[in-house]
Structure 1
Amino acid sequence: MNRITSLFQKKNEKVLNVYFTAGFPKLKDTVSVLEALQDGGVDIVEIGMPYSDPVADGETIQDSNQKALENGMSVSELFEQLKDIRANGITVPIVLMGYLNPVYQYGIEAFCEKCQEIGIDGLILPDLPVDEYFREYKSTFEKYGILNIFLITPQTSEERIRFIDEVSDGFIYMVSSASVTGAVSGINTGMEAYFNRVNAMDLKNPRLIGFGIKDKETFETASKYASGAIIGSQFVRILDNAKDIKSEVIAFVKSLK
Structure 2
Amino acid sequence: MNRLEKLFQEKSENILNIYFTAGFPHLNDTLSLLKAVESAGADIAEVGIPFSDPVADGETIQKANTKALENGMTVKLLFEQLAEMRKEVNIPVILMGDVNPLIQFGLEEFCEKCEEVGVDGLILPNLPMDEYLLEFKPTFDKYGLFNIFLITPQTSEERIRRIDENSSGFIYMVSSASTTGSTSGITDEMRAYFNKVDEMKLKNPRLIGFGIKDKATFDDASRFANGAIIGSAFIRAIQESNSPAEAGAQFIQRVKD
Q: Which runs of 5+ in 1 are unaligned?
A: none
Aligned to 1:233: 232
Aligned to 1:55: 55
Q: Give the RMSD, CA atoms, in angstroms.
A: 0.7
* 1:97-140 deviations in Å (ceiling 9; x for gaps): 01011100111121111100100000000000112111221111
1:218 aligns with 2:201: no
One-letter amino acid of the structure 1 residue matched with residue 174 of structure 2 = V
Aligned to 2:178: 179
* 1:25-48 deviations in Å (ceiling 9; x for gaps): 010111111111111010000000
Separation of aligned partners in 2, 1:95 and 1:67:
21
Summarize the alignment of residues 112-123 of structure 1 with structure 2, pairs less than 5 Å apart.
112-123=111-122
One-letter amino acid of the structure 2 residue matched with residue 140 of structure 1 = T
One-letter amino acid of the structure 2 residue matched with residue 245 of structure 1 = P
Separation of aligned partners in 2, 1:152 and 1:7:
21
1:8 aligns with 2:8: yes
Separation of aligned partners in 1, 2:150 and 2:82:
25
Aligned to 1:146: 145
Q: Secondary structure at the match of 1:28?
A: coil
- Structure 2 length-normalised TM: 0.98
Aligned to 1:34: 34
Q: Secondary structure at the match of 1:105?
A: helix
* 1:143-169 deviations in Å (ceiling 9; x for gaps): 110000000000000110111110111
User: In the alignment, is the contact (CA less than 8 A) between 2:85 and 2:117 conserved in 1?
Assistant: yes
Runs of 4+ in 1 over 2 A off after TM superposition: 243-247
1:78 aligns with 2:78: yes
Separation of aligned partners in 2, 1:61 and 1:147:
24
Offset at 1:246?
Answer: 3.0
Summarize the alignment of residues 92-131 of structure 1 with structure 2, pairs less than 5 Å apart.
92-131=91-130
> Percent identity over the alignment?
62
Aligned to 2:67: 67
Separation of aligned partners in 2, 1:55 and 1:250:
27
- Structure 1 length-normalised TM: 0.98
One-letter amino acid of the structure 2 residue matched with residue 43 of structure 1 = D
Offset at 1:243?
Answer: 2.5
One-letter amino acid of the structure 1 residue matched with residue 197 of structure 2 = V
Offset at 1:253?
Answer: 0.7
Separation of aligned partners in 1, 2:49 and 2:245:
21
User: In the alignment, is the contact (CA less than 8 A) between 2:25 and 2:244 conserved in 1?
Assistant: no
Q: Secondary structure at the match of 1:45?
A: strand
Q: Secondary structure at the match of 1:70?
A: helix
Separation of aligned partners in 2, 1:141 and 1:39:
29
Offset at 1:179?
Answer: 1.1
Aligned to 2:24: 24
Separation of aligned partners in 1, 2:246 and 2:103:
37
Separation of aligned partners in 2, 1:147 and 1:245:
29
Separation of aligned partners in 2, 1:222 and 1:186:
9
* 1:160-213 deviations in Å (ceiling 9; x for gaps): 011111011100000000011011121000000100010011111000000000
One-letter amino acid of the structure 1 residue matched with residue 69 of structure 2 = L
Aligned to 2:194: 195
Separation of aligned partners in 2, 1:133 and 1:34:
28
